[in-house]
Structure 1
Amino acid sequence: RYMEDNVEPNLDFSDQMAKAVAVSRLETAKLLSEVSTNIYPFRNILCVQGKLTPDLDNPPHYDDDFEPAFAPSEMRCLALVSHNRMKAVMKEFVTINKNILKKFCLTGTQSTMKMLSEVFKGDSSVVFGPSCTSGPLGGDAELAALLCRGRLGGILFFEDPLSAHAHQADIHCLCRQAQVHNTMICATTTSALMMMHVLRSALQGNGRPELIPSFFFSLKSPAVVAYLGEQEKVIATHSSG
């Protein structure tokens, strides 16, 4: 594209190509530097592989506080869950994103709720929802029940993918019910960081609730609609018999 927009008749093709490659490399380096600068605060959360080249003289502004368009009481709860190897990362994540997270009614399993109370200690504006028991003792199942009753609008679940879990059935149940009820769920730190931008956009200014519908409405997976239609046919068939 550079060669199309910057034709230099005095240069032969090979020289133009060399110049285009040099410009491309410079622009790529500049882009990577900008990206590195913006994600540098999250380097541990993202566990970035390779070398970052941030501009530390111009750090990005992130997680500025703001007045939300909706109060926590007007939305469903946001649940936070993390496995043992992910708890330190979850705490760092919450600390970095506390000004957006505290706009929601926060719930979660026992150890995560304890961590939240430590991070938000002294902040009377934070609203906490139900504190569930530890995951292996039924905490994930409790969250699944809250979800099914329409009390959860989203889940940040930092699951350890390298460990076996005694309560794997409960974990699967929670994640599956999030799919059944078409509820926002982030299962990686990357998706959770991306979601923070969506949550902020949804709550700033006059608000854009359409960006986070599961915090306001009961939803279903399209597969549920198809399933219910199939069930009606089955019931009708047996009834007519």
Structure 2
Amino acid sequence: MKKKKNIAIVAHDNRKKDIIEWAEFNWKELIQHNLICTGTTGKLVEDALAVKCLEESVVPPTVSRLKSGPLGGDQQLGALIVEGAVDILIFFWDPMQPQPHDVDVKALLRITVLYNIPTASNRSTADFLVSSSLFHENYQPILKDYEHYIKRDVNLD
């Protein structure tokens, strides 16, 4: 990871207010990085940061927006993680509301663990991530070597 991180930001509908409040609180940290968001969350984050930047006469960041989660945005994000294009995931998911794309959410979270991506699923963890001394520094995560899995013998009987 370079000093300037690629940060993915996602929030389920019942957590969008929380993610906007968090982004507004941490806007000075976030605008120093590249932001990637799913659907509506991206528009809300972009608008919230634009207001903060306007108040402070700072150029707002460009927010790359993917599809909405249920329309494939979670899968797009997972693909970006596999390609090494995401360094951190901030995902405020709603544990009380069933989602039509629960399998995609589970797959996304699995990929973050597989690729050792720092992941925050609530405001406290997200605050700890952005306040870490590593947040604005180069960092090389240790990735598990899955070569043995790739080269395993497969019994076709």
TM-score of the pair, normalised by structure 1: 0.56
Counterpart-to-counterpart distance in 2, 1:140 and 1:164? 16
Deviation at 1:230, TM superposition (A): 5.0
Partner of 1:209: 138
Instruction: Please say if 1:150 is aligned against 2:79.
Output: no
Counterpart of 1:209 in 2: which secondary structure?
coil
Three-state SS of the structure 2 residue aligned to 1:182 is coil
C-alpha separation between the residues in 2 aligned to 1:100 and 1:167?
Answer: 31
How far has the Cα of 1:233 moved from its partner?
A: 5.0
Once the two structures are TM-superposed, the CA of residue 202 in structure 1 deviates from its matched residue by 2.9
TM-aligned CA distance change 1:209 to 1:232, over 3 Å:
same
Show structure 2 runs of 5+ residues with no match. Answer: none
The structure in which a higher percent of residues are helix is 1
* Structure 1 segments of 4+ aligned residues over 3 angstroms from their partners: 230-233
Identity over the aligned pairs, expressed in percent? 23
Inter-CA distance 233–172: structure 2 relative to 1 (3 Å threshold): closer
Q: Quick one: which of 99, 108, 118 aligns to 2:28? A: 99
Gaps of 5+ in 1: 1-68
Q: TM-score, normalised by structure 2?
A: 0.83
Structure 2 equivalent of residue 163 of structure 1: 97
Which of 52, 75, 81 aligns to 2:10? It is 81
Q: SS at 1:120's partner residue?
A: helix
**Which is greater in Rg?**
1
User: More strand by proportion, 1 or 2?
Assistant: 2
- Backbone CA RMSD of aligned residues: 2.2
In 1, Cα distance between the equivalents of 2:152 and 2:16?
A: 47
How far 1:155 moved relative to its partner? 0.2
Aligned positions of 1:53-68 closer than 5 A: none
Contact 1:102/1:125 (<8 A) preserved: yes
Between 1 and 2, higher relative CO (CA 8 Å, sep ≥ 6) is seen in 2
